[in-house]
Amino acid sequence: MTLRAQADALLDMAGGLATNEEALDRIAAARDRLAQPLRVALVGRVKAGKSTLLNALVGDLVAATDAAECTLIPTEYHDGITYRAWKVHRDGRIDHALFLRDDRGARIDIGDSPVEDIVRLLVEFPSPQLRDLTIVDTPGLGSANREVSQRTTDLVGGQDIAPADAVVYLLRNWHAMDRDFLACFNDSLGVDVPAFNAVAVLSRADEIGGGGPDALELASTLAARWASSDVLSSVVSGVLPVAGLLAQSALGLTNVEFQALAAIASCAPAERAAAFVSVARTCAPDRLLTVPAETRRRLVAQLGFHGLRHAVGWIAANPFANAGDLAHELVRQSGLDALRTVLFDRFAARTDVLKAVQALDVLEELQRSGQLGLSDDLDAELERVTVNAFELTELRTIEDLVSGHHQLPKDLHHEARQLLGERGTTPAQRLGAVAESDVGPLLGERLTRWRAIATSPQSLPDEQRVARVVVGSLSRIGLSDHRTGSVSA
């Protein structure tokens, strides 16, 4: 019986014990959420680049982006048959909203409705990436308009009618407010899986350290430093540097724009260097005359200053490349792939587990607040599931490895994380098998090795603890038919 099924059964059992309407409603909502895709919220301070990152992640320009603060209402993005939008009013009514796309980008027209009256927007568009995942774009925290920020706090802190299951937290710099927010998010989950469902993104990585050519390297160093800090590692499972603007600009890159970039690349290196000192010089009418100043200005706005310089430099070094190649290069540079892996492999693959965690959390809270009638059966079953569910044990062990609570030699550390399913839960992903035929031999080899670690008196306590869980995971692969896919999800 999967953890999700067990959680479902527990909710059934609890339904009969509810002592009031509110408890019944919460149980029904928890059951509904079990059936929905995983909800990942993109959260961060104002202008952290959330909407830009969303566009890059879903591979479509669906969220409005601007230099000024522009996301004022939490907006959910779902997979659907066409581009359309709805607005959810404070009183629960749902109306159609206009989804508009023109040369100014995408935006949602909410008509005459005041912003304060709308609690969320729902956007639907065809997106294979969103079949197992709903992404929620949120208003910025720390906004000068505090009511706007409060909507995000409610959404993530569990006060919202449809809270998030996982969070991608965008940071440009580290502020006490960020730590408090993430700690609040972790606290809102009663079950002990801290930090697994939160990942931090060092956003706008292309602007770090003045946006020079080494900006992304600096961002990687900074992200690694943050990830190793006690404060951050206790609230998120990792820190990834991502330049969302680079990835987003790759989406809409046209041949015309590529040609303009190539024309700039054709200027003499000294001329380019003199212009690339500042945005003002890059866009000056008397410089880089091969391309009109207005086009240059638009390119800077689209790619960012770092992106423009990188793209031009790359084209100069790859004279036979085309727009597709450049788009590929920009996405590679942006660091988006690593984040996609986390979202679509780690979070999405564990949707059921994360959902079940939320359901168990609801039940525990209802029990604590006395909204469920006394039942030894429910108590015992809830405790049994919470303590014994192997999926939760795996999550906790990954968490302990990520946070440094369990210390292992470097090679064992990385292998353990992979075998426990951090980078995907299919047997092939866990074992790092290139071909299906490799799974069997690799499984045997790993099982022998980790069993030895688990039982050897030479092993340190941490090594033994982790090895026991890894052996459990490998045994489950052995027990299941690995050709059917994921093991624990």
Partner 1 sequence: MSLTEDPLVYARTVLGHALYRAELLGDTEVTALLEPARTLLDDPASAFTVTLRGLCDAGKTTLANALAGAAIIPERVEVPTPCPVRLSSGIPSAGVRLPDGTTEPFDLQRLVGPSATAPPATAIVELTVSPWPLPAGIAVVDAPSDGLDPRTAVGLDREFGGVLLVTDAAQELSDAELDLARSLHAQGALLGVVLTKVDLHVHAERILAADLRHLERSAIDVPVFPVSARLTLLGHATADDTFIAESGTLRLAAVLEQLASNGSIVPRALRATKLAQDATGRMLTEIGELQASLVDRNAQQRNHERLVAASTAIERLRSGQVRWRERLHEGLERLQLDVDHGFRTGLNDLHKSATDELDRGDPNKIWEALSARIQRDADDLLSATRERITNGAETIGQQIATMFGQELTVPLAPGLVHGTAGGWVEQPVAETADRGSVTMAAVRGALPGSSLFTMLLAHFGGVGALGVVAAGAVALPVGLVFGAVSYRMARRGRIEARRRAAQQSIRRFLDGYSPEASKYIRDDLIAVRTALKNHFEEQIIVLQQRVEGEMRRAAEHAELDEAGRRARWSELDEHRQQLELVAAHAEHLLGQLAGGHAP
Which residues within the stretch 404-433 sit at the binding site for partner 1 (CB under 8 A)? 405-407, 409
- DSSP letters for 70-92: ---S-EEEEE-SS-EEEEEETTS
Q: Contacting partner 1 (CB under 8 A), which of 100, 183, 279, 316?
A: 279
Under rule CB under 8 A, how many of the chain's residues touch partner 1? 43
Which residues within the stretch 81-140 sit at the binding site for partner 1 (CB under 8 A)? none
Rank residues 333 and 425 by Cβ distance to partner 1 and give the closer one: 333
Q: How far is the CB of 108 from partner 1 (least distance, A)?
A: 22
Verify binding: residue 255, partner 1, rule CB under 8 A.
no
Which backbone phi and psi does 488 adopt, to 5 degrees?
A: -95, -20
Site string for partner 1, 144-173 (x = CB under 8 A): x-x--x----------------------xx
Query: Helices 351-368 and 21-35 meet at what angle, rounded to 10?
Result: 170
Q: Contacting partner 1 (CB under 8 A), which of 183, 462, 464, 478?
A: 462
Which residues within the stretch 388-407 sit at the binding site for partner 1 (CB under 8 A)? 405-407
Q: Are strands 38-44 and 166-171 parallel, antiparallel or unpaired?
A: parallel
Q: Contacting partner 1 (CB under 8 A), which of 26, 33, 47, 396?
A: 47
Q: Where are the alpha helices (DSSP H) in 125-175?
A: 146-157
To 10 degrees, the CA torsion angle through 209, 213, 218, 223?
100
| Nearest CA among 136, 132, 119 for reference residue 54 | 136
Q: How far is the CB of 259 from partner 1 (least distance, A)?
A: 21
Distances (CA, A) of 161 to 90, 127, 158, 359, 412: 11, 25, 8, 14, 42
Rank residues 17 and 53 by Cβ distance to partner 1 and give the closer one: 53
Distances (CA, A) of 400 to 396, 406, 456, 466: 6, 5, 21, 9
| Segment near partner 1 (CB under 8 A); pick from 175-183, 187-195, 470-478, 480-488 | 175-183
Rank residues 10 and 170 by Cβ distance to partner 1 and give the closer one: 170
| Nearest CA among 330, 211, 334 for reference residue 261 | 330
Which residues within the stretch 285-344 sit at the binding site for partner 1 (CB under 8 A)? 297, 300-301, 305
Residues forming contacts to partner 1 in the complex (CB under 8 A) are 45-47, 67-69, 142-144, 146, 149, 172-177, 204, 207-211, 218, 221-222, 225, 277-280, 283, 297, 300-301, 305, 405-407, 409, 460-462
